[in-house]
Structure 1
Amino acid sequence: MQFPVTVIDQLDEAQLRKWHDFYGVTADRPRFEEEGIWRRTQQEETASNSGWTGESDARRRIVHYWHQYGLVDTTAALSLAMQQMYLYHSVAAPQAEIDEAWEQNHAMLTEGGWKKTGPGRFELGDLRVHMIRVEEHPEDLRAGRRLPEDYEVIDTTFTSVNTFPPRAIRRRPWEVLTHGVRVKDTPGKPIYADDLAQLTDFLPFQVEVGCGVSYEAGIPPLHRLHEMYHVNEIEDELLGKGFTFVLAPGRDPLLAEMFIGTEDKVGELSDMYRACFNAEVTPALHALKRMEEAGHMVGPFITNNFDALGARAGFEEEFMRRYDQRIPPVTFHPDAKALVVVGLHADRRWVAKRAREAGLKVFHVDPEGFPRPDGSWFEYPLEAPQTGDVVVRKTAADAIGDLERLLNLGARIG
C-alpha cells in the first residue's frame, strides 16, 4: 500500500488550471481537503433506525474521514493524487460484542497481511493503523457521558505515512456528537406550483444549492458516501441506499474492507473527489450566472456542495457545509426578495429558516425523488417546506431553464 495514491493520472493544461484556480492552496477555501463525519447512536430518538428498545441499548458508531489531495510528479506530467489519508472509526457496544469484534479485527489484520509494529499498532506499506480498546472513552469522560456498565469501546485509526491531523480535526466528530441527533422539522403547508412563475414577483432572488445540482453534473448522490463508508445497511440494492444504522461491531464492513482489501478500498475512497473534479458546470448553473449578470439574481451563491461548481460557474460562493446544528452565518443581499433553494434535502434547512426571518419568500426546486438504474422511481420527499413556501417538483435543469425563458420573454415584452 503506497502513498500518494493516484486519483487522475497525467493532468492536461485545462485540468491543471482548474486545480490551481479552484482546488489548490491558493483557492478561496481549502478544497484540497475532503472530510465527512457520521455518528450513529442507539437511543430513543433514533429507535426506528437503530433498533433501540430501552436504556440498555446504547450502541454507537462514529466514522470520520479527512483526506488531502495535491499534485505529484510523474514521468510524463503532473497527476492528481491523494497525498494524505486519515480515517477514524469508533464503536461502542456490550462487552460480549466487543470481545468478538476485537478478535475478528485482529484476524482480519492477519488475513490482510498487516505487520505488527507495537501494542495495537500495525502497518501495511505506507498505511498505519492504531487500534485501542477501553472501558471508558476519554471523550465520554470529558463530556460527562456514561455508557451502560458492561459497555466498552474500540477505536481504530488509519493514517498514511507522515499524516498528523491537528487536534481540532481529530476532536471534530466528538464535538458533533455533543450536539445530539438531528431533529426533523415539522412540515407546513407549502404551495405546489408547476414552475417558478411566481418568482418573477420577487426579484431579485438569491440561491442556495444542494447536492441535486451536483447530481445533474454526474456527481454521485450523498448516499454513495454512505455506501462507501458503510454508514447504513443497504436496503435498496439498486441505489445502494438504506436507513437502518450499521451498529453491530462484529466484522464491521468498513474495517473488513480496510483490513483485507486495503488497496482497492483506499482507491475507492477517492471516487467522490475524482467525480467532483471531473464534473462540468451544468446548464442550470450557466443559466443562473446569466440571470445574475442580467440583475435578476444577486449573490453570494450559497452552497452546501464541496465540488466547486458554483465557483467554476463564476459565482462568489458562500460555503454552508458544517458539522453542527447551529444556524450558520449567512449573507443575504440587501436587495434580495426571495431565496430559491435548489436540490437540497433534510440536513441543511437553516438557511431557509434565516431567509424567512429576514422576510424573503422561499421557493424550493426539487423533483422529490430520482430514478433507480432500472428506471423505477425512488420517492425522496422534502423534509419540511413551510407554509408560505412554494415547491416546484422539477429538476434544476428544467425549472431554471424555464425561468430563464420566462424572464427573457418578459424582458422582450417590456
Structure 2
Amino acid sequence: MDIPYIVVDQLTPQQLRTWKTYFGDADRPRYIEEGIWRRTQEKATAGPSGWSGESDARRRVIHYRYRYGLVPTAAAPAIGLRDLYLYQSVSAPAAEIADHEAVVQAAFATGGWKQQPGEAVWARRDLRCRITAYLVHPQDAAARRTLPVGYRSLDVRITSADYAPPPAVRQLPWDVLASGIRVKDQPGTPTLVPDLGGLADFLPFQVEIGCGTSVEAGIPPLHRLHEIYRVTDRQGDEPREHRFTLSPADDPLLPEIIEQPEEKAEQLVEMFKACFLAEPTPAIQALKELQDAGHLVGPVITHNFDVLAARAGLGECFMRRYDQAVPDVEWADGAKALLVVGLHADRRKVQARARKRGMQVVFLDPEGFRHDNRFLPYPLEGPQDSDLVCRKSAGEGLPELVNLLTESTN
C-alpha cells in the first residue's frame, strides 16, 4: 500500500475551498480521524460478550488515528491518507492468543510482508506492522488489573512508515478502558408532541445534533464503523443484540488488513470520504434559518465529524472527544430550551446538564428507521418525564419548525 493513499482525487475548486476552510485550516484538527472501541467480557456485559463466569475476561481494544492532507497531482490537488495508525490489543486464554498470532503470521506470508532483520516488525511497501506478546500486559500492571490465570495478550500496531502518534495519544484507549463501560440511561415517560411548535414558548433555544442529520446527508450511520472494524458480529441495519467480537478466532480484522491492505483501505477511509463529500441538507439549512431569525442561539452542539453545520454558516461545539471525559459545553446565555436532533446515546450527558440549567429538553427523532420496506423501532434512551418528544425526522421536523415559528411571529 502506497502512502499517501488517495481518498478524493482531483479536487474541484469548491472542494479545495471546503478543505482549506473546514478541514485543513480549521480550529480543530478535522484532518484527523480517530476512533476507539474497547470491548470486555464481564458480568455487566454478559449478553453481548458471552460472559458466564470469572474465567471469562477476554478483551479487545481498537484504536485508529489517520491524518489526511492535500497531495499534489498533475491535474489538481487530491486528498490523501498521509499517516496511518491502527492498534489492536487482544487478551484471551493462552491457547487462543497462540492461534491468533499464528493467523497473523500466516497473513504476513499471504500478503507478501517481509520481516525486518532482528525485529518483530514486518514491512510491505509503505506499511509497517509490529507484534508484541505479553504474559502480563504493561497497561494491566500499571493499572493493577488482574486477568485470570493463563491469560495472555497480543498487541499489533500497523502504521505508515516512520509514523507513530505521541505517547499521550497512544495512551488514549487505555484511559477510555479505565473509565469503565457506558451505563445506559433509564428513560422516563416524556410527552409526545405532534410537532415542534411548542418551542415557541421557549425561545431562544440551543440545539444538539447526532448522526441523524448526517445520515440524511448520505453519510453511513456509525454502526458502519462497527462493521469495518469488526467490533461486533453485526450484519445489516436491523438493530438487535449484537455479540461483541472477543474471541480471536472470530476476528477477521487483522487478516483483512494484512493480506489485502489496498482493498481494506477503501473501507478504512470510507467514513472520512463520505463526510468530506457530503453537503448541508435542508435540515441543516433550516437550523441556519432559525439562527438568522434569532430563534436558535449559540453554537450547534454536535457529535458529528462532517462539519455540515459549520459549512452552513453555524458555529459548532464538538462533543465526541477522547481527551476529555466530560467535554465542556458552550452554553448560550438566555437559551431556554435544548432541541436534541437524531441523537440516541446520551454519552456526553449534555441533556442532563441542560435540565440542571432549567432548560426544556425537546427531542426530534422518529425513534426508528426503514429497512427492507419495514419500519424498525429504535427507541430513544435519554428522555425523562419533563421532556418532549416529536417523532419526526430532521428533514421533516426542522423545516416545519421554520414555518411554524414564522407563522407565530407574523
TM range (shorter): over 0.9
The 1:47/1:242 distance shift into structure 2, 3 A limit, reads closer
Equivalent position of 2:11 in the other structure? 11
CA contact (8 A) 1:233 1:241 kept: no
Taking the aligned partners of 1:325 and 1:141, their CA distance within structure 2 comes to 24
Residues 90-145 of structure 1: per-residue CA shift (max 9 Å, x gap) = 10000111111111111111111111114321011100000111110111111111
Q: Secondary structure at the match of 1:85?
A: strand
Equivalent position of 1:195 in the other structure? 195
Identity of aligned pairs, percent? Answer: 51
Taking the aligned partners of 1:394 and 1:349, their CA distance within structure 2 comes to 23
Letter in 1 for 2:388: V
Cα RMSD for the two superposed structures: 1.4
Taking the aligned partners of 2:45 and 2:112, their CA distance within structure 1 comes to 38
Equivalent position of 1:355 in the other structure? 354
The 1:241/1:122 distance shift into structure 2, 3 A limit, reads farther
Equivalent position of 1:403 in the other structure? 401
Equivalent position of 1:207 in the other structure? 207
Equivalent position of 1:393 in the other structure? 391
Normalised by the size of structure 2, how large is the TM-score? 0.97
Q: Secondary structure at the match of 2:62?
A: strand
Equivalent position of 1:330 in the other structure? 329
Taking the aligned partners of 1:87 and 1:71, their CA distance within structure 2 comes to 21
Residue 238 of structure 1: how far off its partner (Å): 5.4
CA contact (8 A) 1:105 1:251 kept: no
Equivalent position of 1:340 in the other structure? 339
CA contact (8 A) 1:227 1:241 kept: no
Q: Secondary structure at the match of 1:36?
A: strand
Taking the aligned partners of 2:29 and 2:304, their CA distance within structure 1 comes to 13
Taking the aligned partners of 1:81 and 1:110, their CA distance within structure 2 comes to 28
Residues 51-86 of structure 1: per-residue CA shift (max 9 Å, x gap) = 001110000001110000000011111001111110
Residues 138-185 of structure 1: per-residue CA shift (max 9 Å, x gap) = 111111111111100000000011312111111100000000000111
Equivalent position of 1:217 in the other structure? 217
Taking the aligned partners of 1:270 and 1:241, their CA distance within structure 2 comes to 26
Q: Secondary structure at the match of 1:329?
A: coil
Taking the aligned partners of 1:324 and 1:386, their CA distance within structure 2 comes to 29
Where do residues 162-311 of structure 1 align in structure 2 (5 Å cutoff)? 162-234=162-234, 236-237=235-236, 243-250=242-249, 252-311=251-310
Gapped runs of 5+ residues in structure 2?
Answer: none
Pairs aligned (count) = 409
Taking the aligned partners of 2:338 and 2:87, their CA distance within structure 1 comes to 37
The 1:245/1:368 distance shift into structure 2, 3 A limit, reads same
1:382 aligns with 2:343: no
168-177 or 325-334, which deviates more: 325-334
Where do residues 64-83 of structure 1 align in structure 2 (5 Å cutoff)? 64-83=63-82
Letter in 1 for 2:394: A
Taking the aligned partners of 2:396 and 2:19, their CA distance within structure 1 comes to 30
The 1:37/1:320 distance shift into structure 2, 3 A limit, reads same
Equivalent position of 1:365 in the other structure? 364
Q: Secondary structure at the match of 2:152?
A: strand
CA contact (8 A) 1:205 1:338 kept: yes
Taking the aligned partners of 2:213 and 2:253, their CA distance within structure 1 comes to 29
Taking the aligned partners of 1:274 and 1:239, their CA distance within structure 2 comes to 24
CA contact (8 A) 1:98 1:152 kept: yes
The 1:44/1:88 distance shift into structure 2, 3 A limit, reads same
Q: Secondary structure at the match of 2:19?
A: helix
Residue 241 of structure 1: how far off its partner (Å): 7.8
Taking the aligned partners of 2:290 and 2:14, their CA distance within structure 1 comes to 26
Runs of 4+ in 1 over 6 A off after TM superposition: none
The 1:390/1:349 distance shift into structure 2, 3 A limit, reads farther
Equivalent position of 2:93 in the other structure? 94
Equivalent position of 2:128 in the other structure? 128
Letter in 2 for 1:103: A
Q: Secondary structure at the match of 1:297?
A: coil
Residue 199 of structure 1: how far off its partner (Å): 1.0
Residue 250 of structure 1: how far off its partner (Å): 2.1
Residues 183-213 of structure 1: per-residue CA shift (max 9 Å, x gap) = 1111111111111111111000000001111
CA contact (8 A) 1:328 1:351 kept: no
Letter in 2 for 1:78: P
